[in-house]
Amino acid sequence: MKKTIVVIVGLSVLFCMVSGLWAANNKTDNKADGQKYKDIYVFYKAGEYAKALELVEKKIKAGDSSMRLVQLKFNLLNRFKRHKEALELVEQQIKKHGETDELLGAKSNALMYMGKTSDAIRVAVKKYRQSKNQSPWDCMNIMHLFLQVNDVN
């Protein structure tokens, strides 16, 4: 058991290094989103999450349904431990946009936060199998979920 955990941790470090290099070479420019939602980020960074969530919901009611805004709402709902609402939000987005890698990853996270680890594993594996750009991070997420249920085999 101890040898297995040491091997897993060692592989995790290796995957982190490889993934970090990959991410550094594949950055996208999010300046436009940063400026568009600057008011929300000010509250978010200051730890005023209730105010940030209020602004997010106001923008959504006004008709802005960008994925960045949905992602912010998902993160804020989880921060308030409103995981069921976060899962419902993701499932609504999946109905609209299909099972994208990002949405499946969010669904897996929400299920994990809710303590539904077996379901989270199923969704994480589905994301990994359908992804065109498989990442070591996906493997690490799956490994992390298996470790939570103490199933290292």
* Cα gap 36→40, rounded to integer Å: 9
pLDDT at residue 141 tops 60: yes
pLDDT digits (tens, 9 = 90+) for 75-109: 999 999 999 999 999 999 999 999 998 999 999 99
CA atoms of 78 and 53, how far apart (whole Å): 11
pLDDT at residue 136 in the model: 83
- Split at pLDDT 50, 70, 90, the class of 58 is very high
Identify the weakest region by mean pLDDT among 12-26, 80-94, 112-126: 12-26
For 61-97, letters b (16+ CB in 10 Å) and e give eeeeeeeebbbbbbbbbbeeeebeebbebbeebeeee
